[in-house]
Amino acid sequence: MPLVLEPAAVRALYDEAVDRRWVLPCFCSENLATTEAILAAAADHARETGIRDLPVTVAMTVNYDHRPQARLYTQTRRWQTGLGLFRRSLDVLLDPDGPFADLRVMVHLDHVQPGPDDELLSSDLSGYSSILYDASTRPFDENVRMTADFVEKRRHEIVVEGACDEIVDADGQERNDITSPDRAARFMARTGADLMVANLGTEHRASSTTLTYHGDMARNIRDRVGHRIVLHGTSSVPASQVARLWEDGVAKVNVWTILERDASPVLFDDMVRNAVRVAGVGKVRELSESGWLGPRALDTGSAGALTHFTTAYRQEAVYRSMKETVRGFLALWLPGISRNGP
Ligand SMILES: [Zn+2]
């Protein structure tokens, strides 16, 4: 089916998810291989669970200074080009005759910031399902005022997620305040936002899974605002910590870092094991003689090969790894009916 874009339809899907004890997953993408991995994982999971019209959200940041994904999408480094290709690729991929036609796909604009993203913010947003209007780097009262203003002007056009508190960088030095239930309740009451990103201890762009997600605080927030919490920074905690998010009042989870972080070692491993096919005998001999590769690298083929020196090979390795990661999250957050009964 076509993208779910109408605000009323998007809000209805979030209500349905709460009823069905689902947490709606949202995966960021900055290239076509990632977008396809997300949709292919969702289609496989739909088949396996029998949830034919499975919901999934694909997202992109635009000029977000920590990761401007629309600009990274093409070598032009123009956000308009990247966002346009990303958005149109979804229409093409969701062709009624294609493999993803039954999915209910939403498209989300992530970490859109007043200032760097003013041009986007002043444009027509009706081609997107939801937006994170992110004024969380401003003082709380200013954040509330700006978010409330945006919600009032645009809520007829797009579902709005606000950011109550900043989610900090894994390598940053900034303070990291966990969102309090009082503050969350004030944020939701005063802004009128549909959803709210809370700081629950996770961090962005983490290189490992060593942090603690504060589920107890999430449940306290849930008691005040309902199932309206959005969790970011999931890649910074072990999957076991985010297995019961519905109970915690989390309506939506945004994921990106782990897709890329776990795909690179898979590709690297495969390239090393196929060194000659990837890079040719001359390059592998040079790297062996300088100590970067061991002697076994020279036994990995007789010459460079189309099966291994093409972009298609590199993209497929990344795609397969990302698809597996996405499937793992879908199993956590969109479980099917258990064989032993509901
Ligand atoms: Zn985020």
Q: What is the CATH number of the domain that holds 164?
A: 3.20.20.70
Query: What average pLDDT does the chain have?
Result: 94
Contact 79, 68 (CB under 8 A): yes
CA–centroid distance, residue 168 to ligand 1 (Å): 9
pLDDT digits (tens, 9 = 90+) for 214-237: 999 999 999 999 999 999 988 888
**308 assigned to some structural domain:** no
pLDDT for 129 beyond 70: yes
CA–centroid distance, residue 232 to ligand 1 (Å): 5
CA–centroid distance, residue 167 to ligand 1 (Å): 7
CA–centroid distance, residue 218 to ligand 1 (Å): 17
22-49 average pLDDT score? 97
- Minimal CA–CA distance to 128: which of 160, 85, 82? 160
Alpha carbon distance 247, 249 (integer Å): 6
Question: Exposed (0-12), middle (13-18) or buried (19+): which is 295, by Cβ within 10 Å?
Answer: exposed
**315 assigned to some structural domain:** no
183-187 average pLDDT score? 96
**243 assigned to some structural domain:** yes
CA–centroid distance, residue 160 to ligand 1 (Å): 15
**297 assigned to some structural domain:** no
**76 assigned to some structural domain:** yes
CA–centroid distance, residue 121 to ligand 1 (Å): 18
Calculate the alpha carbon distances from 255 to 114, 121, 301, 330 in Å. 22, 23, 38, 11
CA–centroid distance, residue 20 to ligand 1 (Å): 25
Query: In 10 A of CB 80, how many CB atoms?
Result: 14
Tokens of 65: 């200074």
Share of the chain above pLDDT 70, in %: 96
CA–centroid distance, residue 27 to ligand 1 (Å): 10
Confidence of residue 52 (pLDDT cuts 50, 70, 90): confident
What domain range is 48 assigned to? 7-260+325-333
Confidence of residue 126 (pLDDT cuts 50, 70, 90): very high
CA–centroid distance, residue 253 to ligand 1 (Å): 9
pLDDT digits (tens, 9 = 90+) for 130-161: 999 999 999 999 999 999 999 999 999 999 99
pLDDT digits (tens, 9 = 90+) for 60-79: 999 999 999 999 999 999 99
CA–centroid distance, residue 202 to ligand 1 (Å): 10
Torsion, CA 264, CA 270, CA 276, CA 277, rounded to 10: -100
**92 assigned to some structural domain:** yes
**217 assigned to some structural domain:** yes
Provide the domain count of the chain. 1
CA–centroid distance, residue 263 to ligand 1 (Å): 19
DSSP letters of 187-226? HHHHH--SEEE---S--BT-SSS-----HHHHHHHHHHH-
